[in-house]
Amino acid sequence: MPPNPLDRLMFAQGGLCFFCHKPLLPAEASVEHLVALGNGGPKHDGNCVACCKTINALLGSMSLKEKIRLVLNQKGQFKCPNETGVLKSTVANAVARPSSVQASVSTTEQVNLIVHDLRKRASAKPRTVKTLTSTISALFQRKLSEQNVLSLIERLRTQGVIVVSGTKVSYELPNEVA
C-alpha cells in the first residue's frame, strides 16, 4: 500500500471525496480525522478519510456527533462547500424556489418538493391518482415523463406518504423537517 496516508485513503476511496463523492484532485485533497486529533482521535486510517479541503476546514474540530448531524442535514445530497465555505443545501434551495426545478434534481428532492407542495394544499389535496398525477406533472412544469411521475407516486407510496386504494389517494404527510 502507498506509504503516504493521503495516497492510501485516496486509493481506498477510488479517488473520490469521502463526503461529496466527486473525483478528488490532489491539490484539493486533504485528510480529515473523523474524531479530531484535538479531541483525542487516533491518526490511523480507521479514523481518517480523504476529502475536499473545504469540507475539512469546515468540520475543523467539531465533535463527531456534530459532523454526523451536518452530513445528515444535507439529506443525501452532500456537496462540499465552495471556497467561501458556504455549504449549500440543494434541497432547501429547491423547496424554496420550485420554479427553478431542473430536470437533473434527484428523486429525493422531487419527493421532498411534492410533499412540500401537498402540505401547502392542506385539505385541497388531490383525491385520486389521476389528479395527483396531473398535480405532480404541473409542479414540475410538465418536464417529467409520465413514467417519471408514476415512479414518483410509487416512491411516495412506498415511503408511506400516500395511501392508494383503487383510484383514490389519501395522505400521511410526514412532519416538516426543520
Q: Which of 110, 137, 125 is nearest to 168 (CA)?
A: 125
Neighbours of 77 (CB within 10 A): 17
Residues 178, 19: Cα–Cα separation, whole Å = 22
Which residue in the set 9, 10, 17, 139 belongs to the binding site for Zn ion (CB under 5 A)? 17
Instruction: In angstroms, give the least distance from the CB of 67 to Zn ion.
Output: 14
Q: Which of 18, 140 has the CB closer to Zn ion? A: 18
Residue 29 binds Zn ion (CB under 5 A): no
- Selected range binding Zn ion among 4-12, 17-25, 57-65, 152-160, rule: CB under 5 A: 17-25
Sole window of 50-58, 60-68, 100-108, 147-155 interacting with Zn ion (rule: CB under 5 A): 50-58
52 lines the binding site for Zn ion (CB under 5 A): yes
By beta-carbon proximity to Zn ion, the closer residue of 80 and 114 is 80
N- to C-terminal Cα distance for the chain? 44
Positions in 99-118 near Zn ion (CB under 5 A): none
Beta carbons of 127 and 168 less than 8 angstroms apart: yes
In the complex with Zn ion, which residue's Cβ is closer, 64 or 71? 71
Which residues have C-beta within 8 Å of that of residue 21, sequence separation ≥ 6?
Answer: 78
Q: H/E element holding 48?
A: strand 48-52
Tell me the closest approach of the beta carbon of residue 56 to Zn ion, in angstroms. 9
Orientation of helix 146-158 relative to helix 129-139, angle to 10°: 110
Considering the rule CB under 5 A, would residue 50 count as an interface residue with Zn ion? no
| Interacting residues toward Zn ion by CB under 5 A | 17, 19-20, 52, 80
